[in-house]
Amino acid sequence: MALKYRLFNPNYTICHRGAMGGLAATIKAWGDNLPEGIQAQYDAETITIDWDETLTEQEALEKILAASFKLTEDKLIDLPGQFIGEDSPDLRLVIHEALCLTFLQHNKMRPGEKTPRISPWQPVDQEDTEPITYRAINSYAHQKAQGTGLLDKAKEGEIGKFPFTATLPQSVIPGAMTGKKALQAMAEDAILLLYLMVGSVIFLLRPTTYRGKSDKKAREKAQACIVIPNVTNLKDFVDSLEILTATSKNIERFNSTYLGRIVGGAEEAALTFLSNIQADDIANSSGVSGCQVIAMGKVAWDKNQINRSLSIQLRNSYPEMTVFRAAKKYLGQSKWITAANGKRFAIPNSPVPELIAANLASERHWCAYFSDLISKKKDFQQMLFRQGGLHAMAKAVKDEDDQAIIQAFHKAWEMTMGQIGDRSREKNLDFSRLVEVKREKIRNEILRAKTASGLATWFLQFCTDATKGASLLPIRNEADRIRAFIFNARNFERFQNLLLFALLSYANDETNRNNNSEGDKN
């Protein structure tokens, strides 16, 4: 018997296509060292696996699984199809942790040592803190197709053959629920779905931003997410995946390190993956048309395990994807913090990339709910340290209405600071303190506006004060556009968020230089 899979099988879901990507990548990783007696090949749309007549179906599958799902000497999960090299121990560690939270969350699916091991990899700034530890495992479900019945001895019929149908446990499809009967599939499809773990990209979640009061508690309990690519070309996908995980300083990637796999939300994880695999220097075609992201976390009706708490399908691109890329590049690097007990854990450096991603995925304006990030004075002051990154985001905005508002505010604020500078020199006052007070006053005035007309009146007065009654150049150049936008009641929340964003994203040349140097370091 041979296994043959067609990418565009009408019965296949995104999980099957993602699994085909994982299986094709595994075959590519084997190279010339295929399992003994096994022949495997793939092209853009099909995968074929055959074996010698001397092998039974189950014997062949045992050899295939042994070559596909391995463990390192440190008892970390090793998936050859993910192309993780020995020079990326931190990436292997975070993937091990994430897989143990998702596909392999039950101890029986990954039996191992009870005492945590000290990781062979530690952060470079590890001083006077507890070392990073992990749970070493002795085996895991995919190595023996555990729970599927694929390798169970036949009670009747020909020995060594696959059963007609197989069971799909949560280790194969995370979050799959067992109803009156277990979830089942044809044997060949169950074999394919074992490779969903290889074709998916896993992230650890540390949610921080607002996405609605109704799901606030649920977000706080989210722990990990699975990004399943919608593969459309196997060869392109595998080539992109291999290049993406290769160590190269010339390729800008966001998720190729431990900290790169720590994100604020599931949408951020998905857009991070899409941004990486679609990068110009990865491949001419990524072989992906979008993805589905599944967040796993605690839910009210089940306190014993983590379940699907969110599932979203995302397109290949969004109108302001460049804004997200800028946010991710300059504000998306996660960081290590030390708890009171000395233990280290990683959290996102800023909530902005999470917010932008959640907005884009929900078809909202990219700046929606930005006011919630800075409604408190301490949060506003903290956000000022992200000024350079926010300025890079402002430069990436493509919408002409947004550009007009941001540029007009920046020019008015620049002229206002010029007036403050004159005053500080004349009266020998602290310029920085005067700017701080004025900036806080502006924030409060914008937040207190309750109507579109009230906010528009404030904005025009602010611009008039900045020019001492003269016409502001950006407003003069875009007079009709700005007037139509600010007096449209439907744009009120968008206008308010844009003004707050503009207040924080103004940066002078020195800030820009610092921002660029920080981006190079990240």
**Do residues 439 and 516 share a domain?**
yes
Contact 327, 389 (CB under 8 A): yes
300 pLDDT band, cuts 50/70/90, is low
**Do residues 513 and 431 share a domain?**
yes
**Do residues 53 and 160 share a domain?**
yes
**Do residues 87 and 24 share a domain?**
yes
| pLDDT tens profile 408-455 | 999 999 999 999 999 999 999 999 999 999 999 999 999 999 999 999
Per-residue pLDDT, 250: 47
How many angstroms separate the CA atoms of 200 and 241, rounded?
11
Element (H, E) at 3: strand 3-6
Look at residue 162 and tell me if it is in a domain.
yes
Per-residue pLDDT, 407: 96
Pairing of strands 302-315, 288-299: antiparallel
Residue 330 has pLDDT above 80, yes or no: yes
Secondary structure class of 115 (helix, strand, coil): coil
Query: Residue written as tokens 């966001």?
Result: 254
Q: How many angstroms separate the Cα of 171 from the Cα of each of 92, 104, 106, 215?
A: 19, 5, 8, 26
Look at residue 389 and tell me if it is in a domain.
no
**Do residues 40 and 160 share a domain?**
yes
Of the listed ranges 24-38, 99-113, 146-160, the one predicted with least confidence: 146-160
Contact 118, 133 (CB under 8 A): yes
**Do residues 411 and 329 share a domain?**
no
Q: Is 206 left (phi over 0), alpha (psi -120 to 50) or beta?
A: beta
- Better-predicted residue by pLDDT, 245 or 447: 447
Residue 509: domain span: 400-520
DSSP string, 399-463: -HHHHHHHHHHHHHHHHHHHHHHHHHHHHT--HHHHHHHHHHHHHHHHHH--SHHHHHHHHHHHH
Distance of CA 4 to the CA centre of its chain: 32
**Do residues 335 and 428 share a domain?**
no
Average confidence (pLDDT) over 116-122: 86
Paired strand residues for 257: none
Neighbours of 31 (CB within 10 A): 8
- Better-predicted residue by pLDDT, 22 or 178: 22
Task: Report the residue count for the chain.
Answer: 522
Residue 396 has pLDDT above 80, yes or no: yes
**Do residues 361 and 447 share a domain?**
no
Paired strand residues for 38: 51
Per-residue pLDDT, 219: 47
Name the domain count of the chain: 3
Look at residue 387 and tell me if it is in a domain.
no
Instruction: Choose one of 144, 161, 194: the last residue of a domain.
Output: 194
Instruction: Choose one of 348, 366, 384: the last residue of a domain.
Output: 366
Contact 197, 271 (CB under 8 A): no
Average pLDDT, the chain: 88
**Do residues 237 and 357 share a domain?**
yes
Nearest CA to 359 out of 289, 446, 268 is that of 268
**Do residues 170 and 228 share a domain?**
no
Per-residue pLDDT, 209: 57
**Do residues 73 and 169 share a domain?**
yes
Look at residue 383 and tell me if it is in a domain.
no
Residue 43 has pLDDT above 70, yes or no: yes
Q: pTM of the entire structure?
A: 0.90
Look at residue 390 and tell me if it is in a domain.
no
| pLDDT tens profile 184-235 | 999 999 999 999 999 999 999 988 754 444 444 444 477 899 999 999 999 9
Contact 149, 132 (CB under 8 A): no
Look at residue 479 and tell me if it is in a domain.
yes
Per-residue pLDDT, 163: 92
Query: Residue written as tokens 């992990």?
Result: 134
324 pLDDT band, cuts 50/70/90, is very high
Look at residue 371 and tell me if it is in a domain.
no
- Better-predicted residue by pLDDT, 456 or 522: 456
**Do residues 416 and 485 share a domain?**
yes
By CB neighbour count within 10 A (0-12 exposed, 13-18 middle, 19+ buried), where does 300 fall?
exposed
Average confidence (pLDDT) over 333-341: 83
How many angstroms separate the CA atoms of 206 and 310, rounded?
14
- Better-predicted residue by pLDDT, 153 or 95: 95
Proportion of the chain above pLDDT 90, given as a percent: 69
Tokens, residue 355: 């917010």
Look at residue 71 and tell me if it is in a domain.
yes
